[in-house]
Amino acid sequence: MNFTSTRGQTPALGFSDAVATGLAPDGGLFLPESLPQFSANDLARFAFAPTYADLCADFFKHFATDIDEATLRGIVRKSYTGFAPKDIAPLEQLGENLFVLELFHGPTLAFKDFALQLLGNLYEHQCKLRKQSINVLGATSGDTGAAAIHGLLGKPGVAIFITYPDGRVSPLQERQMACTGAENVYAIAIDGSFDDAQSALKEIFADQAFRTQHRLSAVNSINLARVLAQCVYYLSAWLRLPKDRRNEAEFVVPTGNFGNVLAGWMLQKMGVPIRGFKVATNQNDILHRMFTTGEYRVGSVRPSLAPSMDIQVASNFERFIYYSVGRDPARVRAVMQQFKETGAYRFEHFNPDTFSAARCTDAEIPGIIRTVYQKYGYIADPHTACGFKDLSRDRLSVVLATASPAKFPETIKAAIGIEPTHPSLEVLKGRPVVKHLLPANAAAIRAFIDTHAVQG
């Protein structure tokens, strides 16, 4: 299968090349040339996969057609060995109409591990095959950086550079990035905001010569492999719901960059009969406004108790736009241009059937954590809590739990008086923090990469 850019000005690439490239050179995002259509028989066959990793391999073989099946299965199996052994994506029932899909049993205790463990192994495979090194660069406001680092740490031929705003990620998140002890990991604390880190990165990636020289790859949520890896937990959950109720299920998805919910929606487009999606945002509500009014308009970011959803522009949204404008790259370019110039875009034929939305302010999050705990005895982290707002009583809801409450001990303690912990986080507290302080500009980061990049 080939992958094309949403902006249509990049030649189609095979799976491995599209994954290694990350952002398409024309500024667009890669998508499958066409989506497979799964029949009822295909879905029944998926149910026979003995483990989560096997299900993931069965799914990926429709896309990663340039990797032989046995190799692919090996890569995928290896990717899920760092998860809690018992159940990789447990589906728990809290009420007659309420399930929680727990996606935080990976090495960094947030759902991003599902995609980034696999992405790390795909990069490694690519490096071996081509006998080439790769340098991975990303900016993070917290969870992505940690998950990316743990997907790549210790891999030969790979170096990873993660920039983050100094003093503005949680102490535990910083420790997950800066206490690994791995030589190929560079945690770069930027003297500036997340937006500063992000724009410095954009500038670096725009420099084709520099990109080529260091074989730079991006690790933010725009990588195609991440979206595909995230489709699998929806499929796994759907297969485990009671057979007679599967088709009524609405997935409630805490989202920021639109990566998480996009994956579910694409799976629905592949023929899996999911009833719909509820987009749950924090007070940074561009997506909530989009799905309630049809207008996508930038606001300004206000730091929240659910920091991994503090975004201004949802970078994955371009993929949604691509499908919404009839898969026409010229129209995508026009929409993105208009958005760049005016900061807004109105969807003409916006169909709210598949999507609903909820928004949760910081004032509401602790109360929701408390109510969920009192009602179900369940501890939801601040991101997951956004998903519990305004739950439908008569519809089957599956709330995606995106992070372990142990990552946000202060907020949980303030809400219910219990301070959750996790052994992997306790270990980090005893290790030295190794971070590199840099000014928030592209030149400084480039110079750092020049001296630390893996060559060859």
Ligand X SMILES: *Cc1c(COP(=O)(O)O)cnc(C)c1O
**Among 61, 86, 112, 340, which one carries the catalytic annotation?**
112
* Cα–Cα distance for residue pair 434/298, rounded to 1 Å: 35
Spatial distance between the Cα atoms of 353 and 376, rounded to a whole number of angstroms: 29
> Site for ligand X (CB under 6 A): which residue of 21, 176, 255, 411?
255
Q: Does 170 bind ligand X (CB under 6 A)?
A: no
Contact region with ligand X (CB under 6 A), list: 7-15, 180-188, 248-256, 336-344: 248-256
How far is Cα 346 from Cα 344, in angstroms, rounded to an integer?
7
Closest by CA position to 365, among listed 357, 377, 373: 373
192 binds ligand X (CB under 6 A): no
CB atoms within 10 A of CB 399: 28
The stretch among 38-46, 256-264, 344-352, 412-420 that binds ligand X (CB under 6 A) is 256-264
Cα-Cα-Cα-Cα dihedral sign, residues 242, 276, 261, 17: positive
CA nearest to 157, candidates 125, 180, 113 = 125
Q: Is 308 in the site for ligand X (CB under 6 A)?
A: yes
Mapped onto helix, strand or coil, the DSSP state of residue 409 is helix
Q: Does 29 bind ligand X (CB under 6 A)?
A: no
Q: Of 38-46, 257-265, 360-368, 434-442, which segment contacts ligand X by CB under 6 A?
A: 257-265
Instruction: Give 307's strand partners.
Output: none
- Nearest approach, Cβ of 258 to ligand X (angstroms)? 5
- From the list 18, 67, 110, 249, which residue makes contact with ligand X (rule: CB under 6 A)? 110
Instruction: Give the pair of three-digit tokens for residue 272.
Output: 């899996």
- To ligand X, the closest distance from the beta carbon of 407 in angstroms equals 8
Does the protein bind ligand X through residue 109 (CB under 6 A)? no
Residue 112 known to be catalytic: yes
| Shortest distance (Å) from residue 252 CB to ligand X | 12
- Please give the full DSSP string across 310-369, using - where no structure is assigned: --SS-TTHHHHHHHHTTS-HHHHHHHHHHHHHHSEEE-TT--TTSEEEEE--TTTHHHHH
Segment interacting with ligand X, rule: CB under 6 A, options 34-42, 172-180, 197-205, 255-263 = 255-263
Smallest CA-to-CA distance from 268 within 212, 230, 213 is with 230
CB neighbours of residue 251 within 10 Å = 28
Q: Report the residue number, 45 or 302, with the smaller CB distance to ligand X.
A: 302
Q: Which of 256, 276, 329, 405 binds ligand X (CB under 6 A)?
A: 256
Q: Binding mask 141-160 vs ligand X (x if CB under 6 A, - otherwise)?
A: --x-----------------
Q: Closest-CB residue for ligand X?
A: 259
| Residue where the block lists tokens 């933010």 | 220
Smallest gap from Cβ 198 to ligand X, in A, equals: 13
Residues in contact with ligand X by the rule CB under 6 A: 110, 112, 143, 221, 254-260, 308-309, 383, 402-403
Active site residues: 112
